[in-house]
Structure 1
């Protein structure tokens, strides 16, 4: 199926991806009926387990799964059932380059570059099931950010690969990879999270410095006009730049506030630091957070980009896919932290 532009793609209520390469034609793209999302289904257990994490927590690597083929730059991951992983990825064919001399044009400091947004489907053994290209050659929006799965759809953004630019919120049917465009945004956005209880969709801007919120109960502006967010909240934490987030729910322990689990990295003083956090969706205040120091076999912090979380056999399990192009899924479970964990200062 071919379209003349990204706008044409957006004007259709629900369309197939521009190009889908199916590598296992006898294998369904996703289990049917679709299972509940592991993160939201296990919300209270995940929050309770997270409360036991700390700097002394020992993380046990329970599984490594090599993902077949070129994964480009993985940005987000969702686990749908026990045997399907969906990965959002960016294939870059021309780099973004600075305008130079501190030049800013239309609010951004660099040229757009070029590339394609992908959704890649893998089975539980890492074998490629399908690879869907979501954008056409020459589309200015081609950066597929962090994703979320709500039990029916995968929520994602396709954005320009530069700050202070534009993005399009989409939802993807995992059974068919049909894409529905929701609204157009006058800023770079990623890390889409759908709060199924309120109808809110929250998205993170470049560097996760702000979270912007839209509500699906309101009619958006007709594409390609921009829809203004209902609120924009500044991220008060500079500890971690969140890359990929998952909606957890409204747990009782946090007074039924909506929360998400996020992972990310920060580079400061020539050091890269990884972290996981449970974040208040309304205020962006981290309600609990823990540093993560594990690295992939290629030397990348595991919290670089994709993350998913679930309770498996009664244990917290976190899924990381940190490396570009040649990607391995690292699956960790935490062992108990020291009951005498203290800060790092001296008396």
Structure 2
């Protein structure tokens, strides 16, 4: 008797929760990346886990990923022409095994490697882009999940990028800590033409790419992101919510899928260079529960 009563009640409760969730959810952006056109797709041939960061030059592609099952973090290097894997560097540092969004400056690749929990610890790792040798490590008493590098200056985001840490690596101390000027939970960020360009999540199925004026940290514009390519089960592909983003001029590259992964190349159109307005900001929904890191 208890089972006969409990099951219908449980089913009704679950259906009620689901209906409330759907009713409260904003309509996702229907396109891939707002004000951008898809130019090409390159399959990445090699083992990748949960993708985190992306960088590239004319010859190579670098991707960070976290193997949560085995508590390991890696930097993977691919040939940009063929997509074949060339090398892999184990970044695991004890309890710190979560490599985040990455950035390259002066032939150094900067990677934050953190504990997989907020308010924890991280190591900023500087890696030689040509040899994959570690040049230095800087310890930080917080989880850092993404980083942008410009000469001796670094900007790194905390858990969900609620705070942005600004470092001068010549001093090895935080110059300042500022709140995120956007609702977007940044996962990968780069310095591009005098701006921080940062991609992140707004919901489980949608995100945004923001252009932030440097050093004032004012949002200048945003582009919404939706699904890229076919949706695969359990989040292994489809929605682009920040992990794996690189930008060169008007060319935007993203890796929205965990392994097996593909590099998507977008070209920003003229609309993407117009300044942000209050209507665009107001149309961005407030964040819901954050995606797993």
TM-score in terms of structure 1 length = 0.64
More helix per residue: 1 or 2?
A: 2
TM-superposed CA distance for 1:182, in Å, is 3.2
Specify which structure has the bigger relative contact order, considering alpha-carbon pairs within 8 angstroms and separated by 6 or more residues.
1
Instruction: Determine the C-alpha separation between the residues in 2 that align with 1:231 and 1:320.
Output: 29
Instruction: Determine the C-alpha separation between the residues in 2 that align with 1:335 and 1:234.
Output: 30
Say if 2:268 is the partner of 1:334: yes
TM-superposed CA distance for 1:80, in Å, is 1.6
Say if 2:48 is the partner of 1:66: no
Task: Evaluate the alpha carbon distance shift between residue 174 and residue 213 of structure 1 in structure 2; reply closer, same or farther with a 3 A threshold.
Answer: same
Q: Which residue of 2 aligns with 1:126?
A: 83
Say if 2:202 is the partner of 1:246: no
Task: Evaluate the alpha carbon distance shift between residue 91 and residue 56 of structure 1 in structure 2; reply closer, same or farther with a 3 A threshold.
Answer: closer
TM-score in terms of structure 2 length = 0.75
Instruction: Determine the C-alpha separation between the residues in 1 that align with 2:60 and 2:46.
Output: 16
Q: Which residue of 2 aligns with 1:207?
A: 160
Instruction: Determine the C-alpha separation between the residues in 2 that align with 1:141 and 1:58.
Output: 37
Kept in 2: contact 1:57–1:335 (CA 8 A): no
2:221 aligned counterpart, secondary structure: strand
Q: Which residue of 1 aligns with 2:180?
A: 235
Instruction: Determine the C-alpha separation between the residues in 2 that align with 1:64 and 1:276.
Output: 19
TM-superposed CA distance for 1:292, in Å, is 2.0
Q: Which residue of 2 aligns with 1:195?
A: 150
Kept in 1: contact 2:48–2:259 (CA 8 A): yes
Give the alignment partner of residue 302 of structure 1, picking from 219, 240, 251.
240
Say if 2:108 is the partner of 1:153: yes
Give the alignment partner of residue 320 of structure 1, picking from 244, 250, 254.
254
Q: Which residue of 2 aligns with 1:176?
A: 131
Runs of at least 5 residues in structure 2 that lack an aligned partner in the other structure: 1-31, 232-236, 283-293
1:330 aligned counterpart, secondary structure: strand
After superposition, the C-alpha distances for 1:260-295 in whole angstroms (9 at most, x for unaligned) are 11111111xxx6322111113445331221212342
Runs of 4+ in 1 over 4 A off after TM superposition: 55-58, 335-339, 342-345
Q: Which residue of 1 aligns with 2:62?
A: 86
Q: Which residue of 1 aligns with 2:96?
A: 141
After superposition, the C-alpha distances for 1:11-62 in whole angstroms (9 at most, x for unaligned) are xxxxxxxxxxxxxxxxxxxxxxxxxxxxxxxxxxxxxxxxxxxx99553221
- What is the RMSD of the two structures over their aligned residues, measured on CA atoms? 2.7
Task: Evaluate the alpha carbon distance shift between residue 241 and residue 57 of structure 1 in structure 2; reply closer, same or farther with a 3 A threshold.
Answer: closer
TM-superposed CA distance for 1:74, in Å, is 1.3
Task: Evaluate the alpha carbon distance shift between residue 233 and residue 56 of structure 1 in structure 2; reply closer, same or farther with a 3 A threshold.
Answer: closer
TM-superposed CA distance for 1:75, in Å, is 0.8
Task: Evaluate the alpha carbon distance shift between residue 282 and residue 59 of structure 1 in structure 2; reply closer, same or farther with a 3 A threshold.
Answer: closer
After superposition, the C-alpha distances for 1:106-149 in whole angstroms (9 at most, x for unaligned) are xxxxxxxxx1121101112211111111226xx10011011101
Say if 2:205 is the partner of 1:272: yes
Kept in 2: contact 1:76–1:146 (CA 8 A): yes
Kept in 2: contact 1:212–1:232 (CA 8 A): yes
2:239 aligned counterpart, secondary structure: coil
1:272 aligned counterpart, secondary structure: coil
